[in-house]
Chain A
Amino acid sequence: MCQECGCSKPGPYQVGERLVDAHHHTHTLPDGRIITHTHPPSPRADATADNHGHGHRHPHDHGHHHHHGHDHSHAHPHQVLNLNTSILNTNDRMAEQNRGAFKALNLLTLNVVSSPGAGKTALLTKTLNELKGRLRCGVIVGDLATDNDAVRLRTTGAAVVPIATGTLCHLEANMVAEAMKQLDLRALDLLIIENVGNLVCPASFDLGESVRVVLHSVTEGEDKPLKYPPMFHSADVVIVTKTDMSEAAGFDRELALKNIRQAAPHAKIFELSSRTGDGVKAWCDHLVELQANGKALR
């Protein structure tokens, strides 16, 4: 979101080396004029009705003209517009464009989400190493700041495009579309999108992925699926990570699996440890199989 004028356009974000400045805004004013502006670093403190702090003025030159010679009331009739339109329309349309591109290329695409520290990057690093020679992989990785995750993922030899979202707590479909331009998608079989670590906001934003993967580490306890139902319900696959630490964490496996099944009865469940490699093969075999079948789940 643009936090200067508060409109829903994202702030500037960085895709690889390229800075995408979304701060050139086009707004449609209620009176119908369309204005484009950029944001100077001016605060809202001097905001007035005409100049509300984003570097341009809205002229109020639309006075009423009453040419007619009869009495009339200024009580304009109220009109109800039934719209029933999706608020996420813009993102959803862009996500469908991405999905179309992925399908045309027979590219299996994962959107990997979890709370921070659940082991997304560790799992992806392990997965990329395991899939060498089986699938050609590319990665788009989102974080608020730093490209630390991208550096870790590049050690696998995979093509990695980092997105620094700035202040945004999730990836949006247009950011993925930008990042896709920096990858040779035709040379890939699998595109993994590592979302920002957050179990709330990314649930609402479709990126165009074929499979949504939600991670749940054993160190997070057993009730995450019940605390974050929208995210878990949106999962096609749930992966229980860090299983090598189950005992130390006092993890109640049966209860956790029951909770996952309750929140996401349709999801396929894997249990693995990225550190010991236990269970990773079953997960990678599943990806190879999905890709071979050209099976888009969404």
Chain B
Amino acid sequence: MMIQGQKPFAMHEFSLMQSTLEIAAQQMHDAGATHLHRLKVRVGKLSGVVPEALRFAFESLQPKSFAAGAKLEIEEVPAVCWCPNCTAEFETADLNYECPRCHQPSGDLRRGRELELASLEIS
């Protein structure tokens, strides 16, 4: 027997926002809080997550959850690589991994894959 998908394709941003809200619920419980006012999420340029899709997921989940009325802040993190020649970091422009100083490519990514719940404002 095979399972038939009855629902449209799931965006992975939707399921990631669900995980975010689950973490938030757990944290609020631990802190004894009842209201969520703001949540700040950090999204790296190479995380594979589209900030607009994440916001859309939040807005569609929000009314049905404890997050109703809360504000979502998204901090986008640029992709930053390490150049071993110059022993310095450089920010990749348009996902070009070439060091702007010595023009050697580097795949040593230091930042840009983040997908984090940075902070919660609760009461």
Contact = CB atoms under 8 A, between A and B. Distances in A.
Interface of A: 1, 3, 6-8, 12-14, 19, 27-32, 44, 47, 52, 76-90, 144-147, 164, 166-170, 200-201, 203-204, 226, 229-231, 233-234, 261-267
Interface in B44-94: 46-49, 61, 64, 66
A76 B35 contact: yes
Contacts of A32: 29, 32
A146 B2 contact: yes
A80 B73 CA distance: 14
A12 B4 CA distance: 10
Contacts of A265: 97, 105-107
A167 B115 contact: no
Nearest to B104: A265
Contacts of A263: 95, 97
Contact of B5 (A6, A166, A200): A166
A81 B27 contact: yes
Interface of B: 1-10, 12, 14-16, 18-20, 22-23, 25-29, 31-37, 41-42, 46-49, 61, 64, 66, 95-98, 105-109, 115-123
A199 B121 CA distance: 35
B15 A85 contact: no
B60 to A, nearest CB: 9
Contact of A233 (B22, B46, B118, B121): B46
A71 to B, nearest CB: 19
A3 B5 CA distance: 11
A8 B19 CA distance: 6
B33 to A, nearest CB: 7
B57 to A, nearest CB: 10
Nearest to A264: B107
Nearest to A92: B115
A294 to B, nearest CB: 23
B123 A77 contact: yes
Given A30-B29, A204-B115, A264-B107, A3 B10 contact: yes
Given A6-B64, A230-B47, A262-B105, A83 B117 contact: yes
Nearest to B105: A265
